Each structure stands twice: as C-alpha cells, then as structure tokens.
C-alpha cells in the first residue's frame, strides 16, 4: 500500500464508491426517462441532436458510444415515436441526417428539466468550494481510469 492511503478497508475503496455513485446516477436517470418512454441512449441522441443540429447515424453512434448497428435501431425507434426525422444529406445522398421534430424537442425539454433536477440538488448539497473540489477530484480519477484502461488493455503479440 502507498503512504497516501495506508490500509483501506474494502468498503472504502474509491472504485467501489465510484461504481456505487455511477449506479445510483444511472438508476435516477433511467427512472426519469422511463416516464417519457426513453432509454438513456435515446435521450443521449436527442440531446446530441439538439445541441449539434442534424447528425448522421455514424456521428450519433460515436457521440453515444455505441455501434452503428445499435444506433440504427435507436434511430428507427425514435423515428417511429415521431421524435426525429431522417432526411438524405445534401452532401451524401446515401447518408441520412437525423433532426428533432417539434414533438422530439418538447419531450427532450421536459425530460431534461427532470434529469437536471439532480444537478440542482447537488448544487443545494455542496458549497461552491466543495463542488469545485469534487469536480476536480472526479476529473483526476477519470484521467487515472482512462490511463489504466489503456495501459492494461490487450497487448500486441510480440
């Protein structure tokens, strides 16, 4: 063990606490979104389109961290719910560009308000200094996680 942490009981491991926080966050978001008939991926897509304007399925797949095949199914579902439309790109006729419908924007706006209530609850729970410190610590933890994932990923054969 390092001098910084000493012997830490298993229930206090940072990875365990981060995982619990992530699970609680996802449970909250999924419960809110279920009320709007949306999955987390569908919400992420609506949010991306709202922020970036029309996007292709490939762009949305990269943005949401899913495969293009998964994104095709997500977009089909959103189109069936009349939350998006897809039109051929003016640049590449075989590429379809997804855009929000008025109904899609309304659903997103309502869902976003409920999802964002959690941010307001955090703002009410932490002082500005605590919020800034926690944000910094989480960024540092994320950097370590990414570095460790790359470092410990599959190694090329020699």
Number of domains in the chain: 1
- Over residues 49-66, the pLDDT tens digits come to 999 999 999 999 999 999
Task: State the maximum Cα–Cα separation within the chain, in Å, rounded to a whole number.
Answer: 61
CATH number assigned to the domain comprising residue 86: 1.10.10.10
The residue range of the domain holding 49 is 10-149
Tokens encoding 28? 């909250």
Residue 66 located in a structural domain = yes
Helices (H) and strands (E) in the chain, counts: 6, 3
For the cut 70, the answer to whether the pLDDT of residue 155 exceeds it is: no
- Over residues 102-120, the pLDDT tens digits come to 999 999 999 999 999 998 9
The model carries a pTM of 0.77
Residue 158 located in a structural domain = no
The confidence score (pLDDT) of residue 149 equals: 85
Specify whether the CB–CB gap between 116 and 25 falls below 8 A.
Answer: no
Torsion over CA: 36, 40, 44, 45 (sign): negative
Residue 3 located in a structural domain = no
Instruction: Identify which of 40, 9, 38 has the alpha carbon closest to the alpha carbon of residue 23.
Output: 40
Residue 4 located in a structural domain = no
CA dist 98 and 60 (Å) reads 9
Residue 27 located in a structural domain = yes
């Amino acid at each position: 063990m390092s001098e910084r942490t000493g012997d830490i009981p298993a229930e206090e491991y940072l990875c365990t606490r981060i995982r619990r926080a992530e699970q609680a966050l996802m449970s909250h978001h999924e419960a809110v979104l279920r009320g709007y008939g949306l999955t987390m991926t569908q919400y992420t897509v609506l949010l991306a389109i709202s922020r970036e304007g029309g996007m292709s399925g490939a762009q949305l797949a990269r943005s949401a961290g899913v495969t293009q095949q998964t994104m095709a199914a997500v977009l089909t579902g959103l189109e069936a719910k009349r939350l998006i439309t897809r039109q051929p790109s003016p640049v590449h006729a075989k590429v379809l560009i997804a855009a929000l419908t008025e109904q899609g924007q309304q659903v997103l706006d309502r869902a976003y308000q409920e999802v964002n209530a959690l941010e307001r609850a955090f703002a009410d729970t932490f002082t500005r200094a605590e919020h800034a410190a926690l944000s910094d610590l989480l960024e540092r933890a994320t950097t370590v996680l990414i570095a460790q994932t790359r470092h410990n990923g599959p190694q090329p054969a020699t």
